Amino acid sequence: MRTAMLRSIQSSLKKSSYSILSRRSYSSESAPDRKVAILGAAGGIGQPLSLLMKLNPLVSSLSLYDIAGTPGVAADVSHINTRSEVVGYMGDENLGKALEGADVVIIPAGVPRKPGMTRDDLFNINAGIVKGLCTAIAKYCPHALVNMISNPVNSTVPIASEVFKKAGTYDEKRLFGVTTLDVVRAKTFYAGKAKVPVSGVNVPVVGGHAGITILPLFSQATPQANNLSDQEIVALTKRTQDGGTEVVEAKAGKGSATLSMAYAGAIFADACLKGLNGVPDVVECSFVQSNVTELPFFASKVRLGKNGVEEVFGLGSLSEYEKKGLEALLPELKSSIEKGIKFANQS
């Protein structure tokens, strides 16, 4: 029964955008060795993310790190009969070992959002955690692609950049804020409202990764649905922006969007691995250093390659509603970016 279930899961992955066999075929037999480290692997996002990365045939070495609980997670995941070897590391003294030789580092570490928590509450806890982890990344795997999941991403990515700059290791092509969950939600909600198969839907999401800074560009969605009213587009936009709150409230104080975030994190990490391995035309939305607007960081479509970011795409044509949304989000996103930079340079 379990073997049949595993085969079913792997078959589903092969058919999804998460599969290494999508686009130009690239079998696991010909894929180079790649080490992926997950920092915060024993947490609510970290555990399902560890499972999903264990299923990815591009990963040859899976390094799981957390301050506690990692040996159990690593032992559990290591029993899955897929390519990667799994090692768990626990405690500050083992962080360096977890990171050495990593090609991709995924950071879901920190506390999740709970009902009543403000972004300031989240920032005050997670900012210090991210700073410490990035200090170690700069020392032990300075050339790794860093996928930042820890919220608030609008601030933690700027924190990471400042830490890397101080260490002399900053490469703007290798630092990503993972905004894939916004895209995943936009696709799901749009497909449901437009009554089209979700597997063929694409919706770019730009801006940042919190509240009104999340701007789904439904005018650029494919396939284009002409049956949606302006009011429905507004409602879809708001639901995408408030998706995290929707899950927090539905879980009634017992969790946040851990499972969907783990899925989105796995999708983006897979794209990074494909890019590193030379698969062409790998494009995802991500919060990166950017010249698309006057802000130093901005989420938009990015082409991934052997050096990380190969190209940052512009916004394209926007509807009037999206232009107003862009204008409204810029001051808030600017404030969040500046807050991260200030924290990194003061503390």
pLDDT digits (tens, 9 = 90+) for 228-282: 999 999 999 999 999 999 999 999 989 999 999 999 999 999 999 999 999 999 9
Known binding-site residue numbers:
40-46, 66, 113, 119, 126, 149-151, 185, 261
Span(s) in the chain for CATH 3.40.50.720: 35-179
Whether the per-residue pLDDT at 172 is higher than 70: the answer is yes
pTM given for the model: 0.92
Please give the structure tokens belonging to residue 174: 């290798």
Mean pLDDT of 121-132: 94
Q: Please, which residues have CB within 8 angstroms of residue 333's CB and are 6 or more apart in sequence?
A: 154, 207, 208, 213, 295, 297, 298
If one compares 21 and 322, the residue with the highest pLDDT of the two is 322
pLDDT at position 179, please?
98
pLDDT tens for each residue of 174-214: 999 999 999 999 999 999 999 999 999 999 999 999 999 99
- For residue 114, the model assigns a pLDDT of 76
Burial class (CB in 10 A: 0-12, 13-18, 19+), 119: middle
- Residue linked to tokens 């999401």: 205
Q: Are 174 and 147 in contact (CB under 8 A)?
A: no
Question: Under CATH, which architecture does the 35-179 domain have?
Answer: 3-Layer(aba) Sandwich (3.40)
Does the pLDDT value for residue 18 go beyond 50?
no
Active site annotation includes 79: no
CA distance 123 to 155: 8
Mean pLDDT for all residues in the chain: 92
The average pLDDT across 311-321 equals 98
Q: Six-digit token pair at 333? A: 């996103």
Report the b/e string of 59-72 with b at 16+ CB within 10 A. bbbbbbbbbebbee
Task: Write the CATH number of the domain with boundaries 180-337.
Answer: 3.90.110.10
Q: Can you give the pLDDT at residue 23? A: 35
In this model, does residue 22 exceed pLDDT 50? Answer: no
| Annotated binding residues for substrate | 113, 119, 151, 185
Taking 90 as the threshold, does the pLDDT of residue 305 lie above it? yes
Q: Identify the active-site residue in 131, 174, 209, 334.
A: 209
Residue 17 has pLDDT above 70, yes or no: no
